[in-house]
Amino acid sequence: MEKASQPARENKMGTMPVHRLLLDMSIPMIVSMLVQALYNVVDSIFVARINEQALTAVSLAFPIQSLMIGVGVGTGVGVNALLSRSLGEKKFGLVNETALNGVFLAWVSCAAFMAVGFFASDVFFSMQTEDVRIARYGHEYLWFICAFSFGMFSQIMFERLLISTGKTFYSMISQSVGAVTNIILDPIMIFGLLGCPKMGVSGAAAATVIGQCIGAALALFFNIRYNREVRLAPRCFRPKLAIIRRIYAVGLPSILMASLGSLMTYGMNRLLISFTSTAVAVFGVYFKLQSFIFMPIFGLNNGMVPIIAYNYGARKRERIVQTVKLSVAYATSIMLLGAVAFHFFPGALLAQFNATPEMLAIGVPALRIISVHFLFAGFCIVSLSVFQAMGNGTESLIVAVSRQWLLLMPIAWLLSLSGDVNAIWWTFPITEIATLMLCAFFMRRLYDKINASFDNRLHCPSNHSPK
């Protein structure tokens, strides 16, 4: 009886001062995201030591890898929003059902990508390059990542359950342990140190998979041991279509956005490789480096989403508005620091990837030009997560479609007609400015909708009061 009464207590997301709550929820996630960014970068740094073809191959594999992450995180976002909102509404039975259905969906996603690894990785690389060496490296890497993706999908989902109930510290621990494991194993498995066979590019993939599996196991342990607001009882589980629909009502737009992002990366790679494979390597390095800037904001968003979802369910408007304002301020500040680093130290950043003179000639102006869009991206990233947290995933999808395809790819193609690879990099600042205006429009409309909804709820009792 004592355990049953515990969930009825008000969660800290509805009581703690907002500024302190946002930091309390976000800092562990920001730290874990920075560690994630570090191991992504370290992965490529070690692969670059093999040769530039290996680095190019990993860059060409990135669209599928990012799609996998997008499907896992998108499903997690849907679970996150529904679970946190259910907590705010005190619907504790729905909390547990949401968690179990989320784990089920993560494993279904894993099965789909295992099939991609076994049957489609060769075709994927043959469509992008005629360089046999690059295609071989890419197949080795992508097959391993897909075939053993159960670690990644499980880790993401179990960590989302921790985040949904405010247990971000435990999520940070599981992510950090998985990432550190990968960093330690990378050089050992790639170059054959300490008696391990030399595995090359496959070693980088194996190190990643092992780190993800360890992180997943730790996150599962934390849920069972410390997450008292979620009870994972698989014995009674049956998939529930109504809950799955609600998860994907928010999560599917996020997954589609990730799909668009993967298609955009694929399209950019095809465009850049028509100039030189070095441009593809530079683009891949940019994505690794920018993760140091974007990952902290994603961590901030991971802390922000359950706060907004919970307080939306609890009908606490002021806490929602304050959370959004603080998140935008922090995100913009982080982006400003990133823009400064990319503009003034591009050569030093590229040197970490064993950059050749040709790579420096393309990469230095690329990083400087692309970094201009950082100044506008902070607001856009926070806006997309606000839409998802409030159950307005359609707005996120509209923005993503406009950004990734209606704007970015056509602009990139037009600029490529100049014959100058440096012109293509201006695609990102131009697109981000247009995206900023669209996000501002949707944010204003959402704010008005919240005000109208809360005001109507406030006046409802008076309509039925006794005369």
User: Does a structural domain hold residue 1?
Assistant: no
User: Can you point out the beta strands (E) in 194-257?
Assistant: none
Say if CB 269 and CB 128 are below 8 A apart. yes
Q: Looking at the 3D structure of the chain, how many domains does it have?
A: 1
User: Does a structural domain hold residue 251?
Assistant: yes
pTM of the model: 0.76
Residue numbers of the domain that contains 118: 13-453
Say if CB 85 and CB 309 are below 8 A apart. yes
Mean pLDDT on 324-341: 95
**What's residue 4's pLDDT?**
42
Residue 301's closest CA among 400, 384, 184? 384
User: Does a structural domain hold residue 465?
Assistant: no
pLDDT in tens, 265-323: 899 999 999 999 999 999 999 988 998 898 889 889 878 988 888 888 788 888 888 99
Residue 255 to residues 34, 75, 245, 249, 380: CA-CA distances in angstroms?
22, 7, 14, 11, 17
Model confidence at 116: pLDDT above 80? yes
- Give the C-alpha separation, 331 to 319, whole Å: 18
Model confidence at 12: pLDDT above 80? no
Residue 246's closest CA among 85, 133, 399? 85
Most confident option among 14-23, 72-81, 153-162:
153-162
Residue 94 CB-half CA count within 13 A? 18
User: Does a structural domain hold residue 463?
Assistant: no
| Contacts of range 425-431, beta carbons closer than 8 Å, 24 or more positions apart | 425/365, 425/366, 425/369, 425/370, 426/369, 428/369, 428/370, 428/372, 428/373, 429/369, 429/370, 429/372, 429/373, 429/376, 431/373, 431/403, 431/407
Q: At what angle do helices 241-273 and 409-416 cross, to 10 degrees?
A: 0
User: Does a structural domain hold residue 367?
Assistant: yes
pLDDT in tens, 356-407: 999 999 999 999 999 999 999 999 999 988 887 887 767 877 887 888 888 9
Mean pLDDT on 184-212: 94
User: Can you point out the beta strands (E) in 125-229?
Assistant: none
**What's residue 31's pLDDT?**
82
> Percent of the chain at pLDDT above 70?
94
**What's residue 5's pLDDT?**
42
DSSP letter at 148?
T
Position 158: which residue type?
A: F
User: Does a structural domain hold residue 460?
Assistant: no
Number of other residues whose CB lies within 10 A of the CB of residue 340: 12
User: Does a structural domain hold residue 393?
Assistant: yes
**What's residue 459's pLDDT?**
53
**What's residue 460's pLDDT?**
52
Mean pLDDT taken over the chain:
87
**What's residue 466's pLDDT?**
40
User: Does a structural domain hold residue 174?
Assistant: yes
